[in-house]
Amino acid sequence: MNKIEKLEAQSIFIIREAYKSFKNIGMLWSIGKDSTVLLWLAKKAFFGHVPFDLIHIDTHYKIPEMIAYRDQLARDLRIRLVVGENRKALANKQTFQDGNLDRIACCKALKSEALNHTLDGSWPRRIYEPKQGAWTDVPRDEPYNAVIVGVRSDEEGSRSKERVFSARDERSEWDASAQPPELWNLYKTEFAPKTHVRVHPLLEWTELNIWEYIEKEKITVIPSYFDQGDGMRYRSLGCWPCTSPVASTARNTADIIEELISGKFRNIAERSGRAQDKDGGGTLEALRKEGYM
Amino acid sequence: MASLETAIDLDETDTQTERMNIVITGHVDHGKSTLVGRLLADTHSLPQGKLDGVKASCEKNGRVFEYSMLLDALEDEQKQGITIDSARVFFKSLARPGREYVIIDAPGHIEFLRNMLSGASRAVAAVLVIDALEGVAENSRRHGLLLSLLGISQVLVVINKLDLINYDESIYRKIRNEYGQYLDSLKVKPVAFIPVSSREGKNITEIAPEMAWYKGKTVLEVLDGFKSPKSEDGAFFAMPLQDVYRFSDAGDERRIYAGTLVSGEARVGDRVRFLPSNKEAHIKSIEAWSAPAKTVVRAGESTGFTLEEDIYVTSGEVLVEADENAPVAASTRIRANIIWLGVNPLTFGKSYLLKLGNAKVQAKLEKIERVLGENNGEDGYYGLNRNECGSVILGFARPIALSSFYDNASLGRFVLVDGFDAAGGGIVLEALSEADIHPELPTGFEEDLFLLLKKYFPHRFPEYGKKPNQDYTI
């Protein structure tokens, strides 16, 4: 087995372990390349099925192609898609783009808060039912005990401290310093009632591994990752006011791999186009403590 | 019983790019960071201008430059998200293109033992650093013991700060002998001992003329000789059953027995046996989504089978070849080495959840045969405190399939969960039969009774009466 095959097998093991261990489990799906690989791995793990909901937090500032791609994929793959959002903040224009919040506070409102309240079922969910092929609005719903999330430890410092099965307490907070030991692949899947668990099957993957896998498996990703002819592409997808495309002429997966191995991005971090990471040191860790993915 | 070396036999060169996780351990201030800093600098693995930048900053602030500062500088950079692999420190091999070493930091402080072990359990090799001036210290021993408990077989011992003892061979020899004997007692066979000076860069990437008496390899050469763990292809077939799926949506009628092979291979048509239920069936198909059809699966693959015969088995059982005499057996009692990390001590009479492969079983401590490590106090026999290691006997509420660690690493290691606390881990030394210990008598009671008998009827125990400190076995 080569490196990528080993990573795939390990991630499938983790996804199966998560599915077995939690009654109400969902998979967080941000539409980006990591989420797309995660979804692919789930289909591998369950032999073509996706036996849980996909959850998307819609900030309403996503690049428009992302939403179109999301809805298309849910229809094509017959996935039960759960969409959460911070309706109050959006209605009151409590956002960065409206000039009423700084970047970090905006992330907190539109992502962390929306995520936490969507997961615990206290805020409305918009749900796509593949059987009916229709969207419904569900004002209150069952909480999820656990969500599978596609974070990688090479993305940012705080993520490297993560465990594969990582507990959040009742307030969705994460205590990085008091984590249990996690030995070999014998993950602790026993948690006190009301604990919310994040499961991280991609922790060991790097950005390069993700693209190598996309290439190997010929996975379709959103075209925004590729140069469409203007010499620009997105390396990491987020909200448009805070994410800038990078100058690159990579037109396909092979070009991107080349860029990462020996080309222009060899020594430049993936999230360098994400403005919120730079507003003060350690902000992503602070956001993650409050539930940011 | 196979030796440790053969059990964790190693693959030949991996031709692709490979990442090798290495844990660097040692007592506080014995020079772990300096060694890593040296390796980063001397393998040219630092971002451009970093070394000169740190040196210039030292000069400006009137501080003496030290190689350990490179680690801190790199961490600062990671916080700003500048380097591509921001989370983990890594450096490249000079001689083996495509190989990268990922350094797992192992803090010397005992409070971080949980983190150190979590990282080290993913390492395939370890470097133990000992200060030549100070000699073998408490954590030198402790870390050696932990590595043996985690089953890490590739260990390099680096004796550091030789510059402070004028590159004196006799001091190096003394430490080497002392620590070598200690590792020997743990059945750990170090790959090499190397005398170095991390500060002066001696024997790190180049052989130093100051130590002409040393005829071995450099640190980097030994690292380059480390091997990625073998994918256990040649060994017997074993697959813990992770789950059984029957997704009925879209008319799917398949019942799929899913799991990850820990060793060997299996083919369509093979007769397999589930342990401990002893049920047998033939593999009808190997299932996969978006992959070419195949008739064989090998160690390491996450897969799923359909079976010719419809049988009822639950997750946690282990599949083996029915015709292969695999050293996997259903057991209710094991002798094991464990490290206890629990908030509460490991005690008799309490039930813990033991996880091994995909099996979960209630387990009880039946006997502590030996408390390992520096704390050999008598109180240890009544339990294990946090961060203590011991050789113990554990009994299970029902049989589970397992191997000794030396026969199969994946089926021979386990964790213990105390309530919701992941409280310990260990390796199976051997499975015990019912006859090895009287299960109906709690061991603590047995020992107490023996002590009372000995006290009040000493004439019945002449061989113990005269030597009260002698060990006894029941």
Read off the pLDDT of residues A226-270 as tens digits, 9 standing for 90 and up. Answer: 999 999 999 888 888 888 888 999 999 999 999 887 766 765 666
pLDDT higher than 70, residue A20:
yes
Sorted by where each begins, the domain ranges of chain B are 4-225, 238-321, 329-440, 441-474
Report the 10 Å Cβ neighbour count for A73: 18
State the pLDDT at residue B248: 80
What is the model's pTM?
A: 0.85
- pLDDT bin (cut points 50, 70, 90) of residue A171 is low
The single residue listed with the structure tokens 């229809």 is: A75
Nearest to B368 by CA among B350, B386, B383: B383
Candidate from A13, A43, A182 with C-beta closest to B118: A182
Q: Are B89 and B104 in contact (CB under 8 A)?
A: no
Cβ within 8 Å, pair A184-B19: no
B92 neighbors B99 (Cβ within 8 angstroms): yes
Q: Across residues B122-140, what is the average pLDDT? A: 91
**Structure tokens given for B250:** 């879209």
First to last CA, chain B: 25
What CATH topology corresponds to B329-440? Elongation Factor Tu (Ef-tu); domain 3 (2.40.30)
Higher pLDDT, A102 or A45: A45
- Contact yes or no for B351/B363 (Cβ under 8 A): yes
Which chain B residues touch A154 with a CB distance below 8 Å?
84-88
Task: Report the distance separating Cα B457 and Cα B441, nearest Å.
Answer: 21
Q: How far is B467 from chain A (nearest CA, A)?
A: 43
Nearest to B312 by CA among B290, B279, B334, B284: B279
The pLDDT of residue A204: 85
Quick check: A163 contacting B, CB < 8 Å? Answer: yes
Measure Cα distances from B171 to A43, A157, A227, B26, B167 in Å: 60, 41, 63, 18, 9
Enumerate the residues of chain B whose CB falls inside 8 A of the CB of residue A5. 300-301
What residues contact B361, with CB distance under 8 A and at least 6 apart? B353, B354, B396, B397, B398, B400
pLDDT of residue B473: 28
**Among candidate residues B337, B373, B339, the one with its CA nearest the CA of residue B117:** B339
d(CA A206, CA A225): 17
Q: Residue A291: what pLDDT? A: 61
Q: Cα separation of A166 and A174, whole Å? A: 8
Nearest residue in chain A measured CA to CA from B255 = A47
Are the beta carbons of B211 and B239 closer than 8 angstroms? no
Question: Closest to A48 (Cβ–Cβ): which among B78, B83, B289?
Answer: B289
Q: Which residues is B428 bridged to in the sheet?
A: B336
Tell me whether strands A196-199 and A146-148 are parallel, antiparallel or unpaired: parallel
* Chain B residue whose CA is closest to A285: B79
User: CA torsion sign, A103 to A165 to A73 to A253?
Assistant: positive
**Residue B428 scores a pLDDT above 60:** yes
Q: What is the DSSP letter of A138?
A: E
pLDDT score of B11: 39
Q: Same CATH topology for B4-225 and B329-440?
A: no
Residues of chain B with Cβ-Cβ distance to A36 below 8 Å are none
**CATH number for the segment(s) B238-321:** 2.40.30.10
For residue B244, pLDDT beyond 80 = yes
Q: Pull the structure tokens for residue B76.
A: 């600062």
Half-sphere exposure of A211 (CA within 13 A, CB side): 18
Q: Tell if the CB–CB gap between A269 and B47 is shorter than 8 Å.
A: no
Q: Judge contact between B267 and B317, C-beta under 8 A.
A: no
Q: Residue A122: pLDDT above 50?
A: yes
- A157: chain B residues, CB-CB within 8 Å: 78-79, 81, 86-87
Q: What CATH number belongs to B4-225?
A: 3.40.50.300
Q: How far is A93 from chain B (nearest CA, A)?
A: 30
Residue A206 to residue B413, Cβ atoms within 8 A? no
Q: Is A44 close to B117, i.e. CB distance below 8 A?
A: no
Return the ∠ at Cα B176 (arms to B178 and B152), rounded to 5°.
90
Q: In chain A, what are the domains?
A: 3-205+278-289 (3.40.50.620), 207-277 (no CATH)
Highest mean pLDDT pick, A56-65, B69-78, B455-464 = A56-65
Q: Does A34 touch chain B (CB under 8 A)?
A: no
Q: Is A80 on the interface with B (CB under 8 A)?
A: no
Q: Output the pLDDT for position B32.
A: 84
A30 to chain B, closest Cα gap in Å: 21
Provide the pLDDT for residue B86: 31
Task: Pick from B50, B76, B86, B339 the residue to mutate for testing the A interface (most A CBs within 10 Å).
Answer: B86
Look at A1 and B118 and tell me if their CB atoms are within 8 Å.
no
| Chain A positions in Cβ-Cβ contact with residue B121 (cut-off 8 Å) | 182-184
Distance from CA of A48 to the nearest CA of B (A): 5
pLDDT, position A282: 46
Q: How many CB atoms lie within 10 A of CB A249?
A: 14
Does residue B447 register a pLDDT over 70? no
Q: What value does the mean pLDDT take over residues B130-155?
A: 89
Top-confidence residue, B390 or B83:
B390
Omega into A223 within 30° of 0, i.e. cis?
no
The verdict on A179 touching B (C-beta cutoff 8 Å) is yes
Q: What is the pLDDT of residues B49-106, one digit of tens each?
A: 778 888 888 888 888 888 888 776 666 655 544 333 333 567 778 788 778 888 776 6
Q: What is the three-state SS of chain B?
A: CCCHHHHCCECCCCCCCEEEEEEEEECCCCCHHHHHHHHHHHCCCCCCCHHHHHHHHHHHHCCCCCCCHHHHHHHHHHHCCCCCCCCCEEEECCCCCCEEEEEEECCCCHHHHHHHHHHHCCCCEEEEEEECCCCCCHHHHHHHHHHHHHCCCEEEEEEECHHHHCCCHHHHHHHHHHHHHHHHHCCCCCCEEEECECCCCECCCCCCHHHCCCCCCCHHHHHHHCCCECCCCCCCCEEEEEEEECCCHHHCCCCEEEEECCECEEECCCEEEEECCCCEEEEEEECCCCCCCCCEEECCCEEEEEECCCCCCCCCCEEEECCCCCCCEEEEEEEEEEEECCCCCEEECCEEEEEECCEEEEEEEEEEEEEECCCCCHHHHHEECCCCEEEEEEEEEEEEEECCCCCCCHHHEEEEEECCEEEEEEEEEEECCHHHCCCCCCHHHHHHHHHHHHHHCHHHCHHHHCCCCCCCCC
Please check whether residue A269 is in contact with residue B85, taking contact to mean a CB–CB distance below 8 angstroms: no
User: What's the rounded mean pLDDT across residues B163-192?
Assistant: 94
Please give, rounded to a whole number of angstroms, the shortest distance from the CA of A87 to a CA of chain B. Answer: 32
- Report the pLDDT averaged over residues B445-462: 70
The DSSP result for A231-279, as a single string, is SEE-SS--BTTTB--EE----SHHHHHHHHHTSTTTTS-GGGGBGGGGS
Using 50, 70 and 90 to split pLDDT, how confident is the model at B110? Answer: low
DSSP state of A1: -
**Cα–Cα dist B266/A103, whole Å:** 54
Listed residue (B467, B436, B427) closest to B151, CA to CA: B427
Q: What is the mean pLDDT of residues A130-135?
A: 92
Q: In chain A, what is the straight-line distance between the N-terminal and C-terminal CA atoms, in Å?
A: 31
| Distance between A56 CA and the closest CA of chain B, angstroms | 23
Q: How far apart are CA A118 and CA A122, in angstroms?
A: 6
ipTM of the complex: 0.90
Whats the size of chain A, residue-wise? 293
